[in-house]
Amino acid sequence: MILIVGSTGTLGSRVARQLLADGQRVRAMTRTPEKAADLKQLGAEVIQGDLVNAASLNRACQGADRVFVAAHSILGNGKYKSEYVDDVGHCALIDAAKRAGVSHFVYTSVYGTSPDSPVDFFRTKYKVEQYLKGSGLNFTILRPTAFMEDHAHNFNGKSILEKGKTSLLGNDTKPRNFVAARDVSKFAIMALTDSKLKNRTLEIGGPQNFTNNEVAELYGKLAGITPRVSHMPPSVARAMSVILKSFQPGISRIMYINSLPDDAFPEAFDPTRMLQQFPMQLTALQEFIRERIAERNGAAK
């Protein structure tokens, strides 16, 4: 039985569907079981659980031999502040997995994590990596770059397709790597099913790097429109991060990230080494955008 924490999310739902299609037994954890109705239909056991409720994590891990976690609360507030979910909650999940005798724990971290990252969320991911390594559990750590679904589409291109315009945060001179969640999902499945990936940390990225502006141009070019692109200067993003910090810590964090100089928080990735070790066809951003355009055209019919 494979427990998936974050089973309703962009990555977790793809991994759950693929595992079910491969005939694996899947337990899908969510705070809101109705959100996992599609997975239930596909044969998953759906269990209610919350990373801030340690008792629910003990129940979720009971009888699971493997755990895949793809949950986060980067934008969370109140009881779901990032430190409670991404730090304390993940450590509690690792403890629960250990108590339940789980044989392999696959953790989704993030590319660029380090103990001295300027961004607290990236330091938290590093801390949890260390906690997992010290737990005695077999582990695999995945460190993917920015998902196309969020960082190319939801935060940028979607609005170009819908309204012909987008607003970007920061200077926009920084090359960023974008990876499709379905490609990250392939690594998660490999980690869960191939014992050679035990006790390894994998850096995962897409085929190319783009600035956010280049992503906006690409959406415009492929959709045949000239998008209007506005920018929030880093100084304004920094001021917003300070103003929002106490009551919107998640949005404050995003503003802060976009106020940093490019070299303080690099996001480029070279996939050569990864592809030498794991030869595969990665999704190009152009292909991903064409799919979003086709989806939209299909929905408009």
Ligand X SMILES: NC(=O)c1ccc[n+]([C@@H]2O[C@H](COP(=O)([O-])OP(=O)(O)OC[C@H]3O[C@@H](n4cnc5c(N)ncnc54)[C@H](OP(=O)(O)O)[C@@H]3O)[C@@H](O)[C@H]2O)c1
- Measure the CA–CA gap between 152 and 156, rounded to whole angstroms: 6
Comparison of 10 and 135: residue with beta carbon closer to ligand X = 10
50 binds ligand X (CB under 6 A): yes
> Which of residues 17, 25, 35, 81 is near ligand X by CB under 6 A?
35
80 binds ligand X (CB under 6 A): yes
110 binds ligand X (CB under 6 A): yes
- Measure the CA–CA gap between 251 and 258, rounded to whole angstroms: 11
Distance in Å, CB of 235 to ligand X, minimum: 25
Question: Token pair for residue 288?
Answer: 């991903």
205 binds ligand X (CB under 6 A): no
x/- site string to ligand X, residues 128 to 147, per CB under 6 A? Answer: ----------------x-xx
- Measure the CA–CA gap between 121 and 83, rounded to whole angstroms: 8
146-165: which residues touch ligand X (CB under 6 A)? 146-147, 150-151
Could you tell me the CA-to-CA distances from 93 to 69, 127, 167, 224 in Å, in that order? 9, 14, 37, 47
DSSP secondary structure letter of residue 204: E
Comparison of 172 and 267: residue with beta carbon closer to ligand X = 267
Which residues partner with 232 through β-bridges? 169
Which residues partner with 146 through β-bridges? 178
User: Do the Cβ atoms of 125 and 113 come closer than 8 Å?
Assistant: yes
249 binds ligand X (CB under 6 A): no
Distance in Å, CB of 80 to ligand X, minimum: 6
8-16, 192-200, 211-219, 266-274 -> range binding ligand X (CB under 6 A): 8-16
Comparison of 110 and 202: residue with beta carbon closer to ligand X = 110
Candidates 260, 268, 3; CA nearest to 121 is 260
User: Do the Cβ atoms of 218 and 210 come closer than 8 Å?
Assistant: yes
Where along the sequence are the contacts to ligand X (CB under 6 A)?
5-12, 30-32, 35, 50-52, 70-73, 80, 85, 89, 108, 110, 144, 146-147, 150-151
